[in-house]
Amino acid sequence: MIIKFIDMEEKANPQFKGGLGETLLRAFDDEYGKIMLGKLEPGCSIGLHTHETNSEIIYIVQGRADYIYDKGREHAEAGDCHYCPKGHSHSMINNGDEPLIFFAVVR
């Protein structure tokens, strides 16, 4: 199955998961999971949340991200991948000066 993000409507999600600003997402989902191409402008974030029934993998395509992961803090940049397993919490923050483009899979 081919998923063409370019053909999908980009939807704005204000204060996504309690974060700052808005998260722009193109997403495909079904009963097995969700696949997203997202964008966070500088200063925007996805709020801290716990993956109680699933896990998430986030690959940074462009820019830099700071993560609050459980009680620690991590830094990732283009080419890095962040993993939040089931039962753990995370938040993603664009503290850089360019848009943060990421690919995420929740399953």
**pLDDT of amino acid 103:** 97
**pLDDT of amino acid 93:** 98
Compute the CA torsion angle 95, 80, 101, 46 (nearest 10 deg): -50
Q: What is the pLDDT of residues 34-65, one digit of tens each?
A: 999 999 999 999 999 999 999 999 999 999 99
The domains of the chain, with CATH numbers, are 11-106 (2.60.120.10)
Report the phi/psi class of residue 31: left, alpha or beta, with left for phi > 0 and alpha for psi in -120 to 50: alpha
**pLDDT of amino acid 23:** 97
Measured CA distances, 76 to 12, 13, 18, 97 (Å) = 23, 22, 21, 14
18 with 47: CB under 8 angstroms? yes
**pLDDT of amino acid 6:** 94
On whether the pTM is more than 0.85, the answer is yes
Which mean pLDDT values do the consecutive 10-residue runs of the chain (107 residues) have?
95 97 97 97 97 98 97 96 98 96 97
